[in-house]
A and B are shown apart, each in its own frame.
Chain A
Amino acid sequence: KAGVTQTPRYLIKTRGQQVTLSCSPISGHRSVSWYQQTPGQGLQFLFEYFSETQRNKGNFPGRFSGRQFSNSRSEMNVSTLELGDSALYLCASSLEVSREQFFGPGTRLTVL
């Protein structure tokens, strides 16, 4: 089975721009969660989607948003980028009835 895939792997943007990151979960996994990883704050939960609905949300500003499609693929969007948004953005998927989350390789976002 293929793992979680994320595109693009690397992205460079400038302050004020917006960005969209994509995540394809493991086949059969309907829950997709997003995390931000930085050296200072570590791994922090952004949000979780299940059956196209946001089921849980972390403590991030409204500039961070996401959605999930009927095929379980998910996107996250960050608007009005700030320097502090530079991070590795990780997507994880899981089965409906499982607590086990499987992470993708991440998208490295650099904001200049």
Chain B
Amino acid sequence: QQQVKQSPQSLIVQKGGISIINCAYENTAFDYFPWYQQFPGKGPALLIAIRPDVSEKKEGRFTISFNKSAKQFSLHIMDSQPGDSATYFCAASAGGAQKLVFGQGTRLTINP
């Protein structure tokens, strides 16, 4: 019940296209859902986060869509650029705790 399932494992998108990564969870106590971006040799960097009282949040080219009834959330990267090529992780936490449960990650490649 603590799992967060992420798909796809890898994704190739053409420059200018939309990248979409999906996550699903079981634990209804989760109330904070961040997305992280990780480049090789670096730690994960917080991209954007959402709470379940909001269905969508947009920051620049990055948008989180949240479906509470389906227990799913997704990251959309608009106008994808080669510099967006990285591994993306969704995560979730419950009850104000700092313990993040991560998805398995998606390796995104943007072809020029």
Q: Which residues of A contact B (CB under 8 A)?
A: 4, 31, 33, 35, 42-45, 48, 50, 55-56, 58, 90, 92, 94, 99-106
Q: A43-B89, A99-B32 are in contact. Are A56 and B44 (CB under 8 A)?
A: no
**Distance A55 CA – B96 CA, assembled complex (angstroms):** 12
Contacting residues, chain B, for A50 (C-beta < 8 A): 98
In the complex formed, the residue of B with least CB distance to A45 is B99
Please, how many angstroms separate the alpha-carbon atoms of A45 and B103 in the complex? 12
* Chain B nearest CB, measured from A91 CB (Å): 8
Q: Is A101 in contact with B100, judged by CB distance below 8 angstroms?
A: yes
Query: Measured between C-beta atoms, what is the minimum distance from A56 to chain B in Å?
Result: 5
Contact B49 A45 (CB under 8 A): no
Interface residues of B in 30-48 (CB under 8 A from A): 32, 34, 36, 41-46
List, sorted by A's number, 21 A–B pairs whose CB atoms are closer than 8 Å.
Answer: A33-B98, A33-B100, A35-B100, A42-B102, A42-B104, A42-B105, A43-B44, A43-B102, A45-B99, A45-B100, A55-B98, A99-B34, A99-B96, A100-B49, A101-B100, A102-B46, A103-B43, A103-B44, A103-B46, A105-B43, A106-B43
Question: Interface on B for A, CB 8 Å cutoff?
Answer: 32, 34, 36, 41-46, 49, 89, 91, 93, 96-105
Q: Is the pair B44, A90 in contact by a Cβ cutoff of 8 Å?
A: yes
Inter-subunit contact A99/B49 (CB<8 Å)? yes
Contact A99 B93 (CB under 8 A): yes
In the complex formed, the residue of B with least CB distance to A31 is: B98
Contact yes or no, B43 A104, CB < 8 A: yes
Given contacts A100-B46, A104-B43, A106-B43, contact A33 B104 (CB under 8 A): no
Other A-B contacts than A42-B105, A44-B102, 11 sampled, CB-CB below 8 A, are A31-B98, A33-B98, A43-B89, A43-B91, A43-B102, A45-B101, A58-B99, A99-B49, A100-B34, A102-B46, A106-B43
